Structure 1
Amino acid sequence: MQSSSFKTLLVLLLTTTMACLQSFTIAGGEVFEIYLNNKLIISQAVHKPFTLQSLQLDKANKNDQLVIYYHHCGHTGKDRTIVIKDDKGNTIKEWKFADASGSKKGMTIPVKDLLQLEKNYSGSNLNIVYYAQQLPKGRALSAIRFNGKSTTWRMQQELWPVGNASFIRK
């Protein structure tokens, strides 16, 4: 009788311990980070409330490098693409990246490419969108801001789809 009671208590204790431990961990999840010249400027996780931030480029120069890392549940995506879109969803500029191998997991975009967009799109609302085999519909990562002009986003329904985002010009 004592042995059966001990086993039941042990199973109950292990089950409770496992349930408690799992409540503190998040399995997987998507995370992205944006660096400007090796300095982290934006970091977001999908499992947390998401705020789309503006990427301020008024103090950037043409030699700067923007590097974007996107992790799908701890793995780097396949067939990765970064696209600049206007507020109507039109693709303005596109960069395709090879599948990551070794330490080459970041997607590097020359800031001079982004600064050139200001000439033709200074009055437009632009955003950076990430696509991959794991995310074929894309995910808006950031709005682009030139010369201190503020571009902010207001989500209408869901948090992520680009099609449901609208802009407010301040």
Structure 2
Amino acid sequence: MRIRSALAVTAAAGTLAVLATAPAQATEYSSALKIRGVQYDAPGPDSNNCSTGNSKSEYVTIKNYSRTATVNLKGYVVRDATSTNKFVFASNHYLQPGDYVKLRGGHGTDSDANNVVYRQNCNFLWNNDKDTIRLYKPSGAHADTHAYTKYDDGDRNGYISYHG
């Protein structure tokens, strides 16, 4: 759940060199689908009440970064750091090259035209202070992973972008 970074220290010929490695959220996997961003802290006071709450305003955006391949999301899995909260794309949802989908909390009607899939669950998926978002291929292989803390959110709007 923490952003991990390693510090390597080497000594050669009396010289001390310090090298910082990239944080865990920079890990790259070979997948066309990647996590584009996360609204980890829904605007307003948190309430997972299905009729009056704001869990529908919490979402993760998944984008197809391929230039040529259409990807079917069926079987892809999104999990949090503890893997106790997860969502499996159970239906066909095709992403054309450059297209994206927002996986939202709450109840609603999935729509290819509106690029949205609902979890059909009003509980929040992401922690407001820190968490890890994991995207898995139907085979179980990692597609993408990003860890965050609220301190990574420079403008403090509850949204963090990845992959430009």
What's the TM-score, normalizing by structure 2?
A: 0.37
The structure with the greater share of residues assigned to helix is 1
Structure number with higher relative contact order (C-alpha < 8 Å, ≥ 6 residues apart): 2
- Greater per-residue strand proportion: 1
